[in-house]
A and B are shown apart, each in its own frame.
Chain A
Amino acid sequence: MAQGEIVAGCLAPHPPHLVYAENPEQNEPVAEGGWEQLRWGYERLRESLKGVEYDAIVILSPHWQTYVGTHFLGLENFQSLSVDPVFPNLFRYHYDMNVDVELAKQIHDKAESAGLAVRMMTNPDFRVDYGTITTGHMFRPQWDKPLVVISSNRSRAYYSVEVMQEMMIELGRVTREAILESGKKVVVLASNSLSHRHFTTESEIPEDMSKEHITSHAMHLWDMRIIDYMKSGQCQRIIDEMPEFTEQAIAETDGGAFTWLLSTLEVPKYPAILHGYGTIIGTGNAIVEWPVYRHKAV
């Protein structure tokens, strides 16, 4: 069997507003558009990966929050209605997604051997979190590739960003190992925003773009700093500054997805492609691609 590979890694945030604004047939509410900058960003990302072949998508979303270890979806198919508990007015999405259980189990097993607390999720009534679904939809609306869905272990809440990073770097390492051993070509996605302070009010028309902006200048500065690091191939600095970033920008990186992603990519030193940046209800969101396929080690 040929060696597997990670063909690309992406920062692919999941505010449900993006699906809402797109009006796909799966989502019940209807919008008059909105958040185009980010939706065009997703378009560019999809376009960029058009010629790249892969077998599966591995995703870590902060909205499947687990406090007892890291969990993996462990059944072949999940179908249901996902209603966002925070923005139910925007997101009521009928999903039908396939899971690459084999790959999930391989990552699970590797993580277990590495001493991480892990569990397969095999309850058929389980509803997949809206973060996974939003990112899944925006990244590949055809839903024709199987996913591996990894929960967000809330180690940050129990310990510190430092401990969270240790665990996520380890989880990223074993994720990479399992993918290489699987013989599959895979895209890895971290589903999170950057700065993450929301407005606590919503305008009458949620997609009223005259109301949309970053919550504060400090948040903007942090987001731009992190984006600069990504664009200039200085991902180690992101890891180094993650504690301050997470704390001061109340960043959604607390869920571990971003650290995990960088670890699966061996903390890239080459420039990432920024496909878009925009705010959603005050939070900062970047759509970023690490085109591993262009930087294959010889």
Chain B
Amino acid sequence: MAGGEIIESFIVPVHPHTVLAPQQNQGWQNLRKAYDDAAQIIKDKEADLLIIYSTTWPSIIGHQIISDPNPEWVMVDHDFHDLGSIHYSFNIDAEFAKQWNKENHARGLQSRCVNYHGFPIDVGSVVALTLLNPDNKIPAVIVSSNVYADRSETTVLAKACKDLVHKTGRKAVAITAMSLSNRMFTEHIDAKDDRIHSLKDDEWNRKILEFLGQGRLEDVSQLSRTIQQQIRVQKVVNFKPMWWLSAINDNRNDLTGNVLSYEAINGAGCAVVNLNPTSSGFGDKEYDEDEVEVFAGERGVLDAATKNTETSKTNSGPKLWEPTEAKGSVNTESAPKPVGAYPHARRVGDLIYLSGVGPRQPDTNTIPGGPIQDAEGNKLDYDIKAQTRAVVENIARILEEAGSSIDKVLDVTSFLVDMDRDFQGYNEVWAETLGKVGPTRTTLAIRALPTPIAVEMKVIAGI
């Protein structure tokens, strides 16, 4: 199955007023009506997955994804507890959550799944899911917002998710639970007196909504830092949700936008906005920030000597060669390019000999689980299991191209650059994969491989 896509996107407000007290204020009621309209659009489009990026769930260890298939509890807002409680029982797509987590790791992100009874789902997600998915029919996933993350990390998070939507053929709706201007009144106000906190906040909100109404999502995304400075109380380091939403929409600027409602909740700027992928024919991007595909760290703001510098992102080793051709050679687009003058494989009689296979990805040349060092030779943390899995997948692809398959593997010689650190993880993945096929095996520790990878395998298979 393939060809899934983001069929709609929504920006929705986080405060509980739309669920618990819409009748107390005309603006809250308008927001509620817009929420209900959004739910109707989602239903009519027969979406089969809701993806929520919530700004009210901060995380520290990378990003967290809810993977409890049925989280249930009672949510009470820290500030607006007097409005009442929201009981929730959500339908979470745990399988998608787990796969997204894997995709994140493959792109160098820290990420983990969260599946604990009683985990407190954040107010923004609770409000959004309660109103957008009232009968709980559509499975959802929820991801946190990392407090230290900047643009590239947030962008890569979205791309990992987008790829998975494509791969799994889902009709997905992307949702950011967020405020525009987030300054609230710091004293208690009467519901009837609610308004946007200041004229300046209001003007900025309207400007943002004008852009969004024209479908210029990438423009808003690239204004993110300015927006943060102008109208955001500095609870977190950046205004991230527009980065995420734009990246999951291919950083497009010509979506079809529709502002369903814009009102104040206790002073904060709250809007329900719908963005549809149909091209509005609107203009090009006004700005041009770098495209980033893989995250390799940018949080070293406190320490100039930090290892996680930009340079490590592009460290995928020496220059690549086109595979050579000779009698019986087998070459494929679906395996990573060689780093020298040799073919992917060569057939002799009933046997096929593979050149050493590493974990690099055929199309992007990236290394699942991350490179072992950056371009300056500084050691990086990497995931040996992800690397080993990628090696086995590459072997399978080359063998299939050669008319063989993974279950015809006869003999494997494995090379590890750090036997102490990696043998266990490598061995676990082996047991789950080639171990079930049953080839003979030899594992060697070596000083280095030509690219910054930790594992390589040399394979002989039958045809």
- Chain A residues near B (Cβ < 8 Å): 64-69, 71, 80-81, 83, 85-89, 92, 117, 119, 121-123, 125-127, 129, 151, 153-155, 157-158, 197-198, 200-202, 215-216, 218-219, 281
A158 touches B186 (CB 8 A): yes
Closest chain A CB from B343 CB (angstroms)? 39
Cross-chain contact B186 with A68 (CB below 8 angstroms): yes
- For the complex formed, measure the closest distance between the CB of B134 and the CB atoms of chain A, giving whole angstroms: 21
A157 to B184, CA, bound (A): 11
Chain A residue nearest to B85 (CB atoms) is A125
CB distance from B125 to the nearest CB of A (A): 11
Once the chains bind, are A86 and B59 in contact (CB under 8 Å)?
A: yes
B396 to chain A, nearest CB (A): 28
- CB neighbours (8 Å) of A201 from chain B are 61-62, 110, 381
Residue B314 at the chain A interface, CB threshold 8 Å: no
Majority SS at the chain B contact face: loop
Bound together, the chains give a CA A30 to CA B76 distance in angstroms of: 28
A125 B119 Cβ-Cβ under 8 A? no
Contact of B81 with A85 in the complex, beta carbons under 8 Å:
no
Once bound together, how far apart are the Cα atoms of A125 and B57, in whole Å? 19
When distances are taken between beta carbons in the complex, the residues of chain A under 8 Å from B183 are 158
* Chain B residues positioned under 8 Å from A125 (CB to CB): 74, 76, 85
17 inter-chain pairs at a CB distance below 8 angstroms, sorted by A residue, are A66-B78, A68-B79, A68-B184, A69-B186, A71-B81, A83-B119, A83-B120, A86-B59, A117-B187, A125-B76, A127-B120, A154-B235, A157-B233, A197-B302, A200-B62, A200-B299, A201-B61
Q: A218: which B residues are within 8 A, CB to CB?
A: 302
Rounded to whole Å, the gap between the CB of A292 and the closest CB of chain B is: 31
Contact of A151 among B62, B78, B80, B119 (CB under 8 A): B78
Q: Does B84 contact A (CB under 8 A)?
A: yes
B246 at interface by CB-CB < 8 Å: no
Per the bound structure, the CA–CA distance linking A288 and B168 in Å amounts to: 54
B57→A68 contact, CB < 8 A: no
- CB-defined interface of B287-321 with A at 8 Å, one 1/0 digit per residue? 00000000000010011000000000000000000
- Assuming A123-B82, A127-B76, what are 14 further A-B pairs, CB within 8 angstroms? A68-B266, A85-B58, A89-B116, A117-B188, A122-B81, A129-B78, A154-B235, A157-B233, A157-B234, A198-B60, A198-B148, A200-B62, A201-B61, A281-B60
Contact between A64 and B62, CB atoms less than 8 A apart = no
Please give the distance in Å from A194's CB to the nearest CB on chain B: 15
- B122 interface residue, CB < 8 Å from A? yes
Q: Does B430 contact A (CB under 8 A)?
A: no
Q: Give B197 Cβ to nearest chain A Cβ, in Å.
A: 10
Known A81-B118, A215-B302: A86·B81 in contact at CB below 8 Å: no
Given A125-B76, A200-B62, is A85 in contact with B122 using a C-beta cutoff of 8 Å? yes
Taking CB as reference atom, which chain A residue is nearest B234? A157
Checking B81, B84, B146 against A121 with a beta-carbon cut-off of 8 angstroms, the contacting residue is B81
A contact residues around B79 at 8 Å (CB): 66-68, 71
A162 to chain B, nearest CB (A): 15
> In the bound complex, what is the Cα–Cα distance between A86 and B119 (angstroms)?
10
Q: In the assembled complex, which residues on chain A have CB atoms less than 8 Å from the CB atom of B85?
A: 123, 125
Residue B211 interfacial (CB < 8 Å): no
Neighbouring A residues of B266 by C-beta, 8 Å: 68
Check if A200 sits within 8 Å of B188, measured CB to CB. Answer: no
A68 and B116 contact, CB distance less than 8 A: no
How far, in whole Å, are A67 and B80 apart by their CA atoms in the complex? 10
Check: B423 CB closer than 8 A to any chain A CB. Answer: no
Interface string of B170-189 (1 = CB under 8 A from A): 00000000000001111110
Which of A71, A83, A215, A281 gathers most chain B CB within 10 Å? A83
Q: Can you list the 4 inter-chain pairs with the closest CB atoms, starting with the nearest?
A: A125-B85, A81-B118, A117-B187, A123-B81
| Known interface pairs A123-B84, A127-B76, A154-B235; A202-B61 also in contact (CB < 8 Å) | yes
A126 touching B76, Cβ below 8 Å: yes
Contact with A along B101-132 (1 / 0, CB 8 A): 00000000010001011111010000000000
CB-defined contacts of B110 to chain A, threshold 8 Å: 200-201
Interface residues of chain B, those whose CB is within 8 Å of chain A, are 57-62, 64, 74, 76, 78-82, 84-85, 110, 114, 116-120, 122, 146, 148, 183-188, 233-235, 266, 299, 302-303, 381
Q: How far is the CA of A127 from the CA of B119 in the complex (A)?
A: 11
Would B184 and A67 count as touching, CB distance under 8 A? yes
Min CB distance B145 to A, Å, is: 11
Distance between B130 CB and nearest chain A CB, rounded to angstroms:
15
Residues of A within 8 A of B82 (CB): 119, 122-123
- The residues of A that contact B59 with a CB separation of less than 8 Å are 85-86
In the complex, what's the smallest C-beta–C-beta distance from B41 to chain A, in angstroms? 30
Q: How far is the CA of A21 from the CA of B61 in the complex (A)?
A: 19
Would you give the shortest CB distance from B240 to chain A, in whole angstroms? Answer: 15
What is the CA–CA distance of A280 and B129 in the complex, to the nearest angstrom?
35
- Are the CB atoms of A158 and B233 closer together than 8 Å? yes
A81 to B72, CA, bound (A): 13
**In the bound complex, what is the Cα–Cα distance between A87 and B58 (angstroms)?**
11
| B180 CB to nearest chain A CB (Å) | 16
One of A122, A157, A219 near B235 (C-beta < 8 A): A157
A146 to B184, CA, bound (A): 33
The smallest beta-carbon distance between B265 and chain A, in angstroms, is: 11
What's the least CB distance linking A97 to chain B, in Å?
16
Min distance, Cβ B57 to any Cβ of chain A, angstroms: 6
Do B81 and A126 have beta carbons less than 8 Å apart? yes
Given A85-B57, A86-B59: A92 in contact with B187 (beta carbons within 8 A): no
Q: Closest B-chain residue to A167, C-beta based? A: B186
- Closest chain A residue to B300 by CB distance? A216
A155 to B186, CA, bound (A): 8
Which of B148, B235, B303 interacts with A216 by CB under 8 Å?
B303
A129: B residues at CB distance < 8 A: 78
| A71 proximity list for chain B (CB < 8 A) | 78-79, 81
- Report whether B118 and A68 are in contact in the complex, using a CB–CB cutoff of 8 Å: no
Q: How far is the CA of A176 from the CA of B408 in the complex (A)?
A: 78
CB distance from A247 to the nearest CB of B (A): 11
Tell me, rounded to whole Å, the shortest Cβ–Cβ distance linking A64 to chain B.
6
- Cα–Cα, bound, A127→B58 (Å): 17
Bound form: Cα–Cα A143–B161 in Å: 45
Chain A nearest CB, measured from B124 CB (Å): 12
Inter-chain CA distance A117–B61, complex, in Å, is 34
CA A81 to CA B74, docked complex, whole Å:
11
Please give me the residue from chain B that is nearest to A124 by CB atom. Answer: B85
When chains A and B are docked, how far (Å) is the Cα of A71 from the Cα of B58?
22
Contact between A67 and B381, CB atoms less than 8 A apart: no
B57 contacts across to A, CB distance below 8 A = 85
- The answer for the CA separation of A197 and B183 in the assembled complex, in Å, is 25
What's the least CB distance linking A130 to chain B, in Å? 9
Minimum CB–CB distance for A296 against chain B, Å? 37
